[in-house]
């Protein structure tokens, strides 16, 4: 098996299942909803980021998190540029896991962040799958 992205795409397309598509769509919808909740309830995100209050660029981080979750969630749900959208999520999710060890440990947030990070790492390797916009546009001649 090739170790290139093309080889990974071939493997993913040969082993595509509807359950994987549903998981990808659920991940995208979850990230979209989380991003919109951060926009509508910005104080919640400010409270989550409070352990990082001494680091400059806090407001930039806030805008990046909300925008990346909203746009990335839509892109992941439809399978459009899936790997790129997930790469944009990775710093946020790693930060969400790490922030629990810096500030007050919140077990539910840690579990959700860890599960989301694992799902994103899976789709980073797996890609959008056979039932995605990536596959549709790749097959257009």
Residue 32 has pLDDT above 90, yes or no: yes
| % the chain with pLDDT above 90 | 33
The string of DSSP letters for 24-79 reads: HHHHHHHHHHHHHHHHHTHHHHHHHTGGGTTSS-HHHHHHHHHHHHHHHHHHHHHT
What mean pLDDT do residues 120-137 have?
Answer: 82
CA distances to 29, 85, 103 from 36, rounded to whole Å, are 11, 17, 24
CB of 54 closer than 8 Å to CB of 48: no
Full residue range of the structural domain in which residue 88 is found? 5-139
- Total tally of structural domains belonging to the chain: 1
Residues 127 and 121: their CA atoms lie apart, in Å, by: 10
**Which pLDDT tens digit goes with each residue over 51-105?**
666 777 666 777 788 889 999 999 999 988 999 999 999 999 998 888 888 777 7
């Amino acid at each position: 098996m090739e170790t290139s992205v093309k080889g990974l795409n071939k493997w993913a397309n040969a082993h595509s299942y509807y359950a994987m598509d549903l998981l990808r769509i659920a991940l995208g919808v979850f990230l979209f909803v989380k991003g919109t909740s951060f926009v509508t309830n910005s104080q919640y995100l400010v409270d989550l980021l409070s352990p990082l209050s001494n680091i400059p660029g806090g407001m930039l981080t806030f805008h990046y998190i909300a925008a990346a979750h909203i746009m990335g969630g839509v892109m992941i749900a439809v399978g459009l540029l899936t790997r790129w959208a997930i790469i944009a999520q990775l710093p946020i999710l790693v930060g969400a896991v790490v922030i629990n060890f810096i500030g007050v440990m919140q077990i539910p947030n840690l579990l959700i962040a860890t599960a989301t990070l694992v799902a994103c790492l899976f789709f980073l390797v797996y890609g959008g799958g056979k039932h995605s916009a990536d596959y549709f546009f790749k097959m257009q001649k």
